[in-house]
Chain A
Amino acid sequence: MGKKLRKIVQAGFGILTNAYVKGFLPGAAMIYQGPLKRFCVPGMNCYSCPGALGACPIGALQAVFNERKRRFPFYVLGYLIAVGALVGRFICGWLCLFGMFQELLYKIPVPKLSVPEKIDRPLRKLKYVVLAVLVVGLPLFYRSRYGAGEPFFCKYVCPVGTLEGGVPLVLMNDILRPALGWLFKWKMLLLAGCVVLSMVIYRPFCKYICPLGAFYSLFAKVSAVRLKVDTAACTGCGACSRKCGMQVDPHVMPDSAECIRCGECVSACPTGALQFTVIGRNAAPGKSPAAGKNVGRGMEKKGGNA
């Protein structure tokens, strides 16, 4: 049920935030321009997607940094801090369309790749470098000779913009095709790489590149919505760790920065020792931990299927 509910929420939220149907009409060459665009959505969602009703927080942050007159981004940063402190990476697990896209690709039955820990661990830090350099540093300090800044992450890296904005707009509008150059090819190459990797690695963009996930992960230990382990009920069977696609050990580190709060571990726990909590209180009060119940079931499970 939990898994199904999450898929419904992911898809529903994706449709809701990209509900500008007019933008998808062939030859429309337009995107939504109404007042809702001044508000950010919580996940990665390109504002140039023909259906997008809100702004991408990472794009919005760079837009403020790109202003000729430098200013502190109170609005976008405040929004990100509030969302991070409220739910943290719960956004990644439940409300990010690109996260869902990667999960669907991972379902394609091809051999899966297990990234060795000595490569995986340093690579996970890459998303913080992307956040610090491409989203904050360069957009804030670089200026062209005409005084204009550039959204470095959106321009050179973001596969979300290519998938949600570039591909549909170019496919539907002949007028844009003559403008395609090396940058579009580079971004298509990155998107293709992301698609292929997502088939063999669970959510590679979220694990290694996403600057929004990196920002929200800073709130992993203090966000109002968190996972909690009832140490008295936990038998240490490891069912949760085997189920986790992000390679987290929820029973050891329930507030890991890598946890996207998808809740797969909560469903997998045979004793109910893992629970979602909201400001320290059990989010599902009716579901009390049943120590010792079905312990064997969890121990028999082998291999996560994320």
Chain B
Amino acid sequence: MEKQERKRRVVTGILIAAGICMCILGFLGGEAQIVLTKAANICMECIGLG
């Protein structure tokens, strides 16, 4: 039981670290700019205008 819990903690840690690394990599690669461009303008599809 304790071993299984430890394994889970390791997986959680790896996933969090991987997620943060991917996030930084994407940010540096200019992906945040794509998100900003989309989010800063009214999304006509989202509001149902086409």
Contacts and interface: CB of A to CB of B under 8 A. Distances in A.
Interface in B1-32: 5, 8-9, 11-12, 15-16, 18-27, 29, 31-32
A38 interface: yes
Interface of A: 31-35, 37-40, 46-48, 52, 54-56, 59-60, 63-64, 67, 71, 73-86, 150-151, 154-155, 158, 161-162, 165-166, 169-170, 176, 179-181, 183-184, 186-188, 219, 221-224, 279-280
A127 B37 CA distance: 28
B42 A48 contact: yes
B47 A280 contact: no
A224 B12 contact: yes
Given A82-B16, A165-B46, A224-B16, A75 B29 contact: yes
Contacts of B45: 150-151, 154-155
Given A63-B35, A162-B47, A219-B15, A78 B22 contact: yes
A38 B29 CA distance: 13
8 contacts: A63-B37, A75-B23, A78-B25, A161-B43, A161-B46, A219-B15, A222-B8, A223-B12
A209 to B, nearest CB: 16
Give the secondary structure class of A's interface: helix
Contact of A161 (B18, B29, B48, B50): B48
Given A81-B15, A186-B48, A188-B48, A37 B9 contact: no
Nearest to B7: A222
A222 B36 contact: no
Interface residues of B, number: 37
Interface of B: 5, 8-9, 11-12, 15-16, 18-27, 29, 31-43, 45-50
A86 B14 CA distance: 11
B43 A59 contact: yes
B44 to A, nearest CB: 8
A170 B24 CA distance: 37
B43 A76 contact: no
Contact of A76 (B12, B15, B26, B40): B26
B39 A79 contact: no
B23 A154 contact: no
Contacts of B23: 74-75, 78-79, 82
A128 B22 CA distance: 23
A180 B5 CA distance: 54
Contacts of A162: 47-48
Given A82-B20, A151-B46, A161-B48, A38 B26 contact: no
Given A37-B39, A46-B47, 12 more contacts: A40-B35, A46-B43, A46-B46, A47-B39, A48-B43, A73-B26, A74-B23, A76-B26, A76-B35, A79-B19, A150-B45, A154-B45
Contact of B18 (A39, A76, A81): A81
A20 to B, nearest CB: 11
Contacts of B35: 37-40, 55, 60, 63-64, 75-76
Contacts of B18: 78, 81
A74 B31 contact: yes
Contacts of B8: 221-222, 280
